[in-house]
Amino acid sequence: MGLAAGGIFSPAVGVLESGRAYGNADSASLRIVAAGHPGGDGTLIPAGQGVKLTAVASDPYLRDTRYHVFFEPTFRWTCTEGRLDTIGERETVWTGPQAGWDGAVDCAYEATYRLRDSSAHPDAQRMVYVKLRATAPVVAAASSELLRDGFINGYEIGHYPSLDDPRYAVNAVTARQHPEAYRLPDSFYPVTRKNRDLRISEHYTLGDFAHDFPWGSLGLPQYIALDLGLVEKLEALHQRAAQKGLSRKKFQFIYGFRPPAYNLKVSQEEGVENLKAPFSMHQYGKAVDIVIDDDEDRIFDDLNQSGVSDLDDIRLLLACVDELDRDYLKDGDPRLGGAGIYSHHDFQARRQSPYLHIDTRGYAGSTGALIRWTIP
């Protein structure tokens, strides 16, 4: 469950700013490791939480007995926003501002060396300066405390439905049994032009989960709710699908997050014609609608080689979800969720295709069975 503070970041290549090195300066490097699940290039940080960052320097001069440390290596952390609480030189805890932030934490490394034996090298008296810098992309969520009158930092989220609203009485029957799954999200992550392509796990970017990705634009920046356990579940599902030869690429999304301002408005306007539920997990950042589309024709792939894309193809992927959810159910894992097969979607700007809905609602049916459904 580590994506709450995840990511191993690409190293910055070491550069000798002056002096002459005995050896290869390019072998020096610095990287920043964020506590938690590795795999992405950036770290998502829920509102009010901090992430532990560790600077890892690979410095060949420290290991080379021909060199003497003239000035001890130092690490210096900097960030233009948020709070840094240093734990020794190599580690710090960064906490983002309450209003959310899209930026980076930097670490600079410096060391100075000279040769131990002046007779061993003609440049023995030359100093070697090693200066490295690494950057850790971070996206801090805005607190839901900033959600006022349906807006957060000027972006419309809307009003989350009440379990006691008579308009949703029928839909609220099950929800009332599990009110914890329908609480107002604590965090809303900013999605900007700068960070929407930021890889937050091995296969998925932050923009994958945005409301309009990738078929339209509702304006940027957006703020989205996102259960980080859902990202982990997608990666686990991708691994199982690949093992069974169903897909080698990332799943394509039809819908990720849908704010109540959109979800409830459309469901009220279209009535029975639409596929959006008042208490949809999409509103809480706990659901995605996906297709396997390795041939990139925007239709769920013909996995069983029947000649058509149909619900039987979806069932092959659903079997992988069933395996995951049975494990989650046995372990009491909050990534447990529902799954639904749909023969069509209501995203009119996109080519029609059957698809699979998966979520992380955290509970099973009243009999203990997995929650599953099919919309023909």
Give per-residue pLDDT as tens, 285-341.
999 999 999 999 989 999 999 999 999 999 999 999 999 999 999 999 999 999 999
Q: For all residues of the chain together, what is the average pLDDT?
A: 86
What total of structural domains would you count in the chain? Answer: 2
Instruction: Tell me: do 11 and 158 sit in the same domain.
Output: no
Per-residue pLDDT, averaged over 134-147, amounts to 94
User: In this predicted structure, what is the pLDDT of residue 272?
Assistant: 54
Instruction: Tell me: do 310 and 175 sit in the same domain.
Output: yes
Instruction: Tell me: do 342 and 371 sit in the same domain.
Output: yes
Instruction: Tell me: do 126 and 48 sit in the same domain.
Output: yes
User: In this predicted structure, what is the pLDDT of residue 212?
Assistant: 77
Judged on CB neighbours under 10 Å (0-12, 13-18, 19+), 247 is buried
End-of-domain residue from the set 140, 155, 186:
140
Give the domain range for residue 130. 2-140
pLDDT band at 64 (very low <50, low <70, confident <90, very high): confident
DSSP state of 27: G
Q: Which residue has the tokens 């392509």?
A: 197
3-state secondary structure of 339: strand
Per-residue pLDDT, averaged over 344-361, amounts to 89
Instruction: Tell me: do 255 and 298 sit in the same domain.
Output: yes
Does 343 score more than 50 pLDDT? yes
Give whole-number Cα distances, 153 to 98, 149, 194, 262, in Å: 11, 11, 17, 17
Instruction: Tell me: do 118 and 222 sit in the same domain.
Output: no
Instruction: Tell me: do 11 and 135 sit in the same domain.
Output: yes
Instruction: Tell me: do 133 and 147 sit in the same domain.
Output: no
Instruction: Tell me: do 34 and 158 sit in the same domain.
Output: no
Per-residue pLDDT, averaged over 181-187, amounts to 96
Does 265 score more than 70 pLDDT? yes
End-of-domain residue from the set 91, 111, 140:
140
User: In this predicted structure, what is the pLDDT of residue 21?
Assistant: 37
End-of-domain residue from the set 140, 171, 198:
140
Ramachandran angles phi, psi of 271, nearest 5°: 60, -130
Instruction: Tell me: do 241 and 154 sit in the same domain.
Output: yes
User: In this predicted structure, what is the pLDDT of residue 248?
Assistant: 84
Q: Say which residue, 83 or 263, is predicted with more confidence.
A: 83
pLDDT band at 217 (very low <50, low <70, confident <90, very high): low
